[in-house]
Structure 1
Amino acid sequence: MSSATSANPAASVIPGLFRGLFDDAAVFPPGNLPVAEAVPAHRAHRAAWYAESVGPLLCGAGRLDELTAAAAGEQPLRVGLVLPGGSTELAPALAAAAPFEVAGVELATRDAAGALAELDRLLAPEIPAAVELPRELLRGEGLEAALDLIAGSRYRAKFRTGGLVADAFPDEEELAAFLTGCARRGLAYKCTAGLHNAVRHTDATTGFEHHGFLNVLLAARESDPAVATEVLAERDGEVLAKAVRTLTDRQVTVIRDSFTAFGTCSIAEPLADLASLGLLPASPLPQEDR
């Protein structure tokens, strides 16, 4: 537990379902917060009453020099390394991240076997990692083979749930296939992009169909793709909130052992959604950080 969290007794108001759920992706699209602004904003999140809900600050391999300059002279940051360029970025990124506490590595690749071997070779055993394969490789038999391979390692899977174009958003059936495939194997995973809001919805500006993170949390305990698809399609926030309130401690553990975190460029937005559904205190909430 971080010093900020342990020093703040009010942090205990964060239910277990939401602890460490929101990885801080403020510097990534569509937020694109400058690194020099993201660092103090992240430190403020980590000192706030909701600190237990906030994961590490995510940073791409190409911006670690900026991060080092922005964080110099203060308490070391917990940083998640995001490596879109694959295994070749791992060694230099780990070297560049020496000033930080590396909380995890997220490695995108088309070669899962090679990526797993490189992680085994270079990554300390105590540092978790997640392997992201392109969605086109995670369909049909490709999904089964990829999940089998990752499940045979000590690493998590990573799945992209959105982006800047409509095609970046998987539909309910595609996401359900991934979630239930992981559930059947006991394979942990994280998600990224498009999950800022708690409930499935259509964005009024873009028309994109966004999954809700409450939908994903509740679907994470399902092993039947049809049931998971139904949960992912639910658009009534009160229905989802009621389902959350009925979860047992054991069910929460199962869910979070599966769905470990997601990257969000806004910490304020998911907290506000949870507060509006009565699942978190309504105030004080952070200012909008996008």
Structure 2
Amino acid sequence: MIPGLFRGLFDDAAVFPPGNLPVAEAVPAHRAHRAAWYAESVGPLLCGAGRLDELTAAAGEQPLRVGLVLPGGSAELAPALAAAAPFEVAGVELATRDAAGALAELDRLLAPEIPAAVELPRELLRGQGLEAALDLIADSRYRAKFRTGGLVADAFPDETELAAFLTGCARRGLAYKCTAGLHNAVRHTDATTGFEHHGFLNVLLAAQESDPAVAAEVLAERDGEVLAKAVRALTDRQVTVIRDSFTAFGTCSIAEPLADLASLGLLPASPLPQEDR
């Protein structure tokens, strides 16, 4: 029932800002998502290294698929893996300023079957820094991770910056995930904050481009019907290329992206989940 373009696209980041759902509420909400008709669209429940004790208490004896988010870098990896022993670890997201050191620690500590994504600060991914970082990650078995939003305006990259990352990954055959600011399908200006949000449909469509100018143009599109029409025109091969590149993004709301897709006629209109923030 879920088109291939959207399968496993929405990693459940309910406990992260701006949603900030308590862990004790996020676990049953996630299990409800995983039991719903749209379950194929939902990835693992993301949890920060410092909240794994809470997660263990909330999860009880029932299985839970978890993505570990490690903002503190390589030093958090070993203790987080130990604390996550009760769970099925679906992946690791490691933020670092030292890509080479992070890759070495992942090689040393992470089981080969567990995927990982390495996130570098955006200030290190400008100019030749981007090229060098992507080259390094592309030579490993891991994905890149890029931050597409946050709680302040400067946390949102413009379309040129994001296009440089997307096309740099495309040229190298490097998979990546995104995080923050992508709750909605279409690029827009938030009426309350004034922040410029990228749309996840824009990012999906731009993921197949290797020309930064073309990718930036796709990222700048604000007409949902234009994007929906482009999605409907995708071939199976294009969908495979896109999702082999853009693997997932973290969203603190599962309801919002589903509702947006339904409003554009890309998913059934009902029943949709209640707001989960």
Counterpart secondary structure, 1:289:
coil
Distance 1:274 1:72, change over 3 A: closer
Matched, 1:47 2:35: yes
TM-score norm. by structure 1 comes to 0.95
| Cα distance in 1, alignment partners of residues 49 and 237 from structure 2 | 37
Unaligned ranges ≥5, structure 1? 1-12
Q: Is the Cα contact below 8 Å between 1:105 and 1:129 reproduced in 2?
A: yes
| Cα distance in 1, alignment partners of residues 216 and 10 from structure 2 | 23
Cα displacement (A) at 1:74: 3.6
Q: Is the Cα contact below 8 Å between 2:146 and 2:176 reproduced in 1?
A: yes
| Cα distance in 2, alignment partners of residues 73 and 167 from structure 1 | 39
Identical residues among aligned pairs (%)? 97
Question: What is the Cα-based RMSD across aligned positions, in Å?
Answer: 0.5
Q: Deviations over 1:103-140 (max 9, x none)?
A: 00000000000000000000000000000000000000
| Cα distance in 2, alignment partners of residues 102 and 138 from structure 1 | 28
Cα displacement (A) at 1:76: 1.2
| Cα distance in 2, alignment partners of residues 243 and 78 from structure 1 | 33
| Cα distance in 1, alignment partners of residues 79 and 29 from structure 2 | 26
Q: Is the Cα contact below 8 Å between 2:134 and 2:168 reproduced in 1?
A: yes
Q: Is the Cα contact below 8 Å between 2:13 and 2:47 reproduced in 1?
A: yes
Unaligned ranges ≥5, structure 2? none
Cα displacement (A) at 1:20: 0.1
Partner residue in 2 for 1:208: 195
Q: Is the Cα contact below 8 Å between 2:27 and 2:59 reproduced in 1?
A: no
Q: Is the Cα contact below 8 Å between 2:23 and 2:58 reproduced in 1?
A: no
Runs of 4+ aligned structure 1 residues displaced above 2 Å come to 70-75
Counterpart secondary structure, 2:247:
strand
Cα displacement (A) at 1:71: 3.7
| Cα distance in 2, alignment partners of residues 206 and 117 from structure 1 | 40
Cα displacement (A) at 1:73: 3.4
| Cα distance in 1, alignment partners of residues 168 and 135 from structure 2 | 9
| Cα distance in 1, alignment partners of residues 85 and 169 from structure 2 | 32
Cα displacement (A) at 1:72: 4.0
| Cα distance in 2, alignment partners of residues 225 and 58 from structure 1 | 31
| Cα distance in 2, alignment partners of residues 82 and 219 from structure 1 | 26
Q: Is the Cα contact below 8 Å between 2:188 and 2:222 reproduced in 1?
A: yes
Count of equivalent residues? 277
| Cα distance in 2, alignment partners of residues 226 and 111 from structure 1 | 30
Q: Is the Cα contact below 8 Å between 2:7 and 2:40 reproduced in 1?
A: yes
TM-score norm. by structure 2 comes to 0.99
Q: Is the Cα contact below 8 Å between 1:71 and 1:77 reproduced in 2?
A: no
Cα displacement (A) at 1:159: 0.0
